[in-house]
Amino acid sequence: MKDRIMNVFIEEILDKSMKFTMDDLARRLGISKSCSLSFVFEN
């Protein structure tokens, strides 16, 4: 899941530069914002 989040993060940077939010990442991933954060900070 971390790889998927990082890939989406890179896609957002390419699409919007640095003007995106965690909501944008979560929307693109199809999961909730809190869920995406828990995957990143879990380990």
In degrees, to the nearest 5, what angle opens at C-alpha 20 toward C-alphas 15 and 26?
95
In the chain the domains, ranked by start, together with CATH numbers, are: 2-41 (1.10.10)
Tell me what pLDDT residue 41 has: 63
- Report if pTM > 0.85: no
Tell me what pLDDT residue 11 has: 93
Per-residue pLDDT tens listing for the chain (43 residues): 778 888 999 999 999 888 988 889 889 888 887 776 676 666 5
- Return the C-alpha torsion angle 36, 6, 24, 27, nearest 10: -60
How far is residue 10's CA from residue 16's CA, in Å, rounded to a whole number?
A: 10
Structure tokens at 23: 């909501």
